[in-house]
A and B are shown apart, each in its own frame.
Chain A
């Protein structure tokens, strides 16, 4: 049986990372210039990793899909970034942040990784401030903090509602400084389509130049994948248009294990879909639930009536009813699931019947319109811009949307995948959030990985692996490129004759995933989903319609390629969800709940990371990494 070595250092939890840093092998300064590292993706994780590796003196080639590394999905993060600074002196500490993250992840993450994350969190803030990131400040000139996502301490740093943007621009500027220093070469408008593995080690990538359509070969001594999450497998999500799972999936097919693909976070407060043309969903800060009351009509007969004409006694404030002590502030997954249930009952509102009300009427009455405007003015404005409705007058309509994927490529303590020399950072790996991620922790993890882990662990690997320089004429480069060419050609051949557009098939996939591999899952539903996904794979490969050719700028061809990979990843997600006979974090199985409808975890049988290994023929192999908790006690949450 295959086993996984997480390479977690021995010793007390709080000393593991410093011990590892002391033990690491170093690359001599004059040798660094001779070692080349590829960084794929320049979101928070990739930009910070590429800049830091460049500063250390390595030769770095960095790649992104967008026209400039200043843009990536990371830029859209609004709420903030956590760090255990304890500036407000409200009792926060590294331990508390560690514990909250482990507990928030429903005890499905690795203790040592999470502790390191909490340890380095404070250095991220120091680093960003030194770069000139304009965080929010108090009148006295110190940094401002707020409590976020139900945390009991105020440990979230923010820059108005644009935290991701400002942190990304800080990392981007550090990256461009290295471009100017000629340590980093930037390759924008490139899509990685395959990983080149030579003698069992990651030695390069194949990219498509998105302007000319040419395939290119790039070699290196190590590859760092920072390509983000796979939330767009659901078609509609809060993720950016170009977010995708392709790079990770291609690495999976070259031997990197994929861990916990079924762990997905669904965010309860998004603007609902308004029609079939919808291309993405917009997130609204969950702080809205502090004052807004969630409800739907008690009777189906009322769902099409204007909200304000439905009298109090005909409204069902279902969260307040079911969870009297937490009410509208139940955690993200509970709020999301309950919205789905009431809509499934036919009590959903709005044009599509897939929305619930978030009502500020009482808050405005009690606190005054000005107070509410102070707190949420910009969110109300954004809502009105998109929907054309004024939330001061009529209740908002909200619906859950896919937001974040906790699963990703399996990595060990040093963020190396099961392919030696392939490192994975940011949302693309599975590492720190277990089965559920806390608000404001993704930015923290992306930057922790990029600034403070990858630069050291890549060095440690390079110091111990003196790989020979290779030419991109190497037979394995040629073979891999030929396989990419064949894959693209096959797609274009079908695409020239097919009848169903890429978007039509993509939307069908999204629907299956939303309904059956989404907020609430059943074994029957998951089995059915697998059958439907297989059929859709077949539809794609026999009947997809793709415009144009491969040797030109062709966005629909890019989307088609990402969809082809999502169609395979979707199947693995359903398989993973089906095998995990428990409910935990973002994974809720209807057959594993308490009589009160709460998630029922099964620590005896499922306290492990599910890592899936690709098999050329037959089904993927499940490899388990048992999770051992030496420092915390496993507890069950309750929100009644």
Chain B
């Protein structure tokens, strides 16, 4: 297993800073098919460092597909072609020997490039800050089993809560809309009784913030769902739109 190798050619977006011009640079690497995609980049970087060049900057933390830190566009697809997979979970064995791989950062006005493949996703935090929570302070609370929540409902809320905030949905959307991300949080909290009292205020504040950040509108293309590593469903966007309308016509 140790001596298996494959060759890949990379075309990587290099950009020194937010204001700098970016360009593609080409690299070649001999890699092991069992490497993850990010380990492949680590190996390329070691080589660059030894040659006295600047390594390719990219973000990562858990490297297990759960934190949402990593993310880049691989061969035109956010997180690469494998469905339901973050780029840190992608393995080189899913590429062909001799293949050319094009690697770019998320591209969206609301996600400015910091360097190379690293972007600023602070807009997502501001959407959550606008209302993506249940307003409870720390302190004595009713017993956790005081309110029963049916398993089906709770499972549906969980499906929405599984979003890792990676931003692939925005990168994949031709309008750079953040509707899948925002819809997932709106849906989770609207479904659960804990979130009900502030449903209306929440969806209005979050959607308004999303617009203020410069994300585009959703026109139901569905690229976001296809790119989402957690397979967050488009239904969440429909729920968000319904919740928003409801909030416009009722007062809470």
Q: Which 5 A-B pairs have the closest CB atoms?
A: A141-B148, A173-B133, A126-B141, A52-B138, A176-B129
**In residues 173-223 of chain A, which contact B (Cβ within 8 Å)?**
173-174, 176-177, 179-180, 186, 188, 211
**In the bound complex, what is the Cα–Cα distance between A352 and B60 (angstroms)?**
26
Contact segment of B114-122, B171-179, B218-226, B239-247: B114-122
Whether A134 lies near B161 (C-beta < 8 A) is yes
Which residues on A sit within 8 Å (CB–CB) of B212? none
Asked if A545 is at the interface (CB within 8 A of a chain B CB), the reply is yes
Asked if A166 is at the interface (CB within 8 A of a chain B CB), the reply is yes
With a 10 A CB-CB cut-off, give which of A52, A132, A555 has the most chain B CB atoms. Answer: A132
A72 smallest CB distance to B (angstroms)? 8
Whether A123 lies near B158 (C-beta < 8 A) is no
Which residues on A sit within 8 Å (CB–CB) of B141? 123, 126-127, 129-130
Asked if B53 is at the interface (CB within 8 A of a chain A CB), the reply is yes
Contacts A130-B194, A351-B1 given: A173-B125 contact, CB under 8 Å? no
Contacts A130-B141, A387-B34 given: A553-B118 contact, CB under 8 Å? yes
Q: Can you report 30 residue pairs joining A to B where beta carbons are below 8 Å apart? A: A52-B137, A52-B138, A67-B69, A67-B121, A68-B121, A70-B165, A71-B165, A76-B64, A87-B145, A126-B140, A129-B194, A130-B194, A134-B154, A137-B149, A143-B145, A162-B66, A241-B63, A274-B32, A277-B40, A279-B36, A501-B49, A547-B48, A547-B52, A547-B54, A552-B16, A552-B17, A553-B114, A555-B55, A555-B57, A556-B45
Whether B125 lies near A130 (C-beta < 8 A) is no
Query: Chain A residue with minimal CB distance to B124?
Result: A68
Which A residues fall within an 8 A CB radius of B?
Answer: 48, 51-52, 55, 66-73, 75-76, 85, 87, 123, 125-132, 134-143, 159-160, 162, 165-166, 169, 172-174, 176-177, 179-180, 186, 188, 211, 240-242, 274-275, 277-280, 282, 350-352, 385-388, 451-452, 455, 501, 503, 545, 547-548, 552-553, 555-556
Which residues on A sit within 8 Å (CB–CB) of B66? 75-76, 162, 165
**In residues 85-99 of chain B, which contact A (Cβ within 8 Å)?**
85, 89, 91, 93
**In the bound complex, what is the Cα–Cα distance between A67 and B165 (angstroms)?**
11
A549 smallest CB distance to B (angstroms)? 10
| Other contacts beyond A143-B145, A173-B132: 8, CB < 8 A | A52-B138, A127-B138, A135-B144, A177-B133, A278-B39, A547-B53, A553-B118, A556-B45
Query: Chain B residue with minimal CB distance to A74?
Result: B67
Main secondary structure of the interface of B (DSSP, over half): loop
Whether A241 lies near B115 (C-beta < 8 A) is no
Contact of B148 among A48, A70, A140, A173 (CB under 8 A): A140
Query: Chain B residue with minimal CB distance to A124?
Result: B144
Contacts A129-B194, A132-B189, A240-B67 given: A556-B55 contact, CB under 8 Å? yes
**In the bound complex, what is the Cα–Cα distance between A132 and B67 (angstroms)?**
19
Whether A173 lies near B150 (C-beta < 8 A) is no
Contacts A129-B141, A141-B148, A282-B64 given: A70-B125 contact, CB under 8 Å? yes
**In the bound complex, what is the Cα–Cα distance between A282 and B133 (angstroms)?**
31
Contact of A68 among B48, B122, B145, B192 (CB under 8 A): B122
Asked if B135 is at the interface (CB within 8 A of a chain A CB), the reply is yes
Query: Chain B residue with minimal CB distance to A53?
Result: B138
A21 smallest CB distance to B (angstroms)? 12
**In the bound complex, what is the Cα–Cα distance between A87 and B145 (angstroms)?**
9
Whether B134 lies near A173 (C-beta < 8 A) is yes
A80 smallest CB distance to B (angstroms)? 14
Whether B49 lies near A180 (C-beta < 8 A) is no
Contact of B34 among A73, A162, A179, A275 (CB under 8 A): A275
A417 smallest CB distance to B (angstroms)? 23
Whether B145 lies near A174 (C-beta < 8 A) is no
**In the bound complex, what is the Cα–Cα distance between A165 and B64 (angstroms)?**
12
Whether A279 lies near B63 (C-beta < 8 A) is yes
